[in-house]
Amino acid sequence: KVSTEDPEMAFCTLANREDLNPEEGSIHHCLYQFTRNEKLTETNKLLCDVCTQRHCGPKNNVKSEKKYVYTNAKKQMLISLAPPILTLHLKRFQHAGFNLQKVNRHIKFPEVIDLAPFCTAKCKNVAEGNTKVLYSLYGVVEHSGTMRSGHYTAYVKMRTTNNHLSDLVLRGQSPQALETEPVKGQWFHISDTHVQAVSASKVLSSQAYLLFYERLL
């Protein structure tokens, strides 16, 4: 969606992203790169209707003469609606010539993540004045093997029912003041029919393919 209501706020976020200084090889760095400000120049210039009308007159004349004006622009992808459940899908492949190669690099991810630096300043379901949008990790999917074959396993946290999360999912009510620590519970590693209790450190050292977070604040 192109924002034309308040251009000054178009590239503003709930929290200052410049204070992040994210560590390379972390989920914060991935999000920072995905939501970075991009300049559209040369062959990537943006077609500007206002500039076209200014230079070429009314729209009907412009279409007949096919004179369009392109201008330099900035583009940034930010979150405009914080989801109840945050699912992060890591790209685990790269091109190696004409082939695809699996990326086995470990990406660091936290138990609690703050999305505020990646949310637009006018994020729809964040209470006014809040500068944090916190999520707690509750599930991880891991893949072992190659691009051609392998095995999926999962880490899942058994935790108590989150009534605030239910309100957010069912009624869209924005959380006001909840706990900012990870949701308490026991982690389990699941591989087919085998289930084993594991520590949080074991989960955080896994080679994540999919990450599942539930909203805290």
Q: Which positions ≥6 away from 104 have C-beta within 8 Å? A: 207
For residue 49, being part of any structural domain is answered with no
Beta 112-114 vs 99-102: how paired, if at all?
Answer: unpaired
For residue 191, being part of any structural domain is answered with yes
Handedness of CA 177, 181, 184, 190 (dihedral sign): positive
For residue 46, being part of any structural domain is answered with no
For residue 174, being part of any structural domain is answered with yes
For residue 112, being part of any structural domain is answered with yes
Which CATH number covers residue 192?
Answer: 3.90.70.10
- Cα-based distances in Å from 217 to 3, 125, 129, 133, 172: 26, 11, 12, 5, 13
Instruction: Count CA within 13 A, CB hemisphere, residue 194.
Output: 5
For residue 137, being part of any structural domain is answered with yes
Residue type, 170: L
Q: Strand (E) positions, 2-92?
A: 38-40, 46-47, 70-71, 73-75, 85-89
pLDDT attached to residue 210: 95
Handedness of CA 17, 23, 27, 29 (dihedral sign): positive
Total number of domains constituting the chain: 1
For residue 40, being part of any structural domain is answered with no
- Is residue 45 within 8 A of residue 72, CB to CB? The reply is yes
pLDDT attached to residue 1: 45
- Is residue 215 within 8 A of residue 85, CB to CB? The reply is yes
For residue 38, being part of any structural domain is answered with no
Residue type, 171: R
Q: Residue-wise pLDDT tens for the chain (217 aa)?
A: 444 556 667 788 999 888 888 899 999 999 999 999 888 888 888 888 888 877 776 655 545 555 788 888 888 899 999 999 999 999 887 777 777 778 888 999 999 999 999 999 988 888 888 889 999 999 999 998 877 788 999 999 998 776 666 666 655 565 555 556 788 899 999 999 999 999 999 999 999 999 999 998 7
Structural domain that includes position 199: 79-215
Q: pTM of the full predicted structure?
A: 0.79
Q: Which positions ≥6 away from 115 have C-beta within 8 Å? A: 31, 79, 82, 86, 133, 134, 135
Rounded Cα–Cα distance for residues 175 and 215 (Å): 9
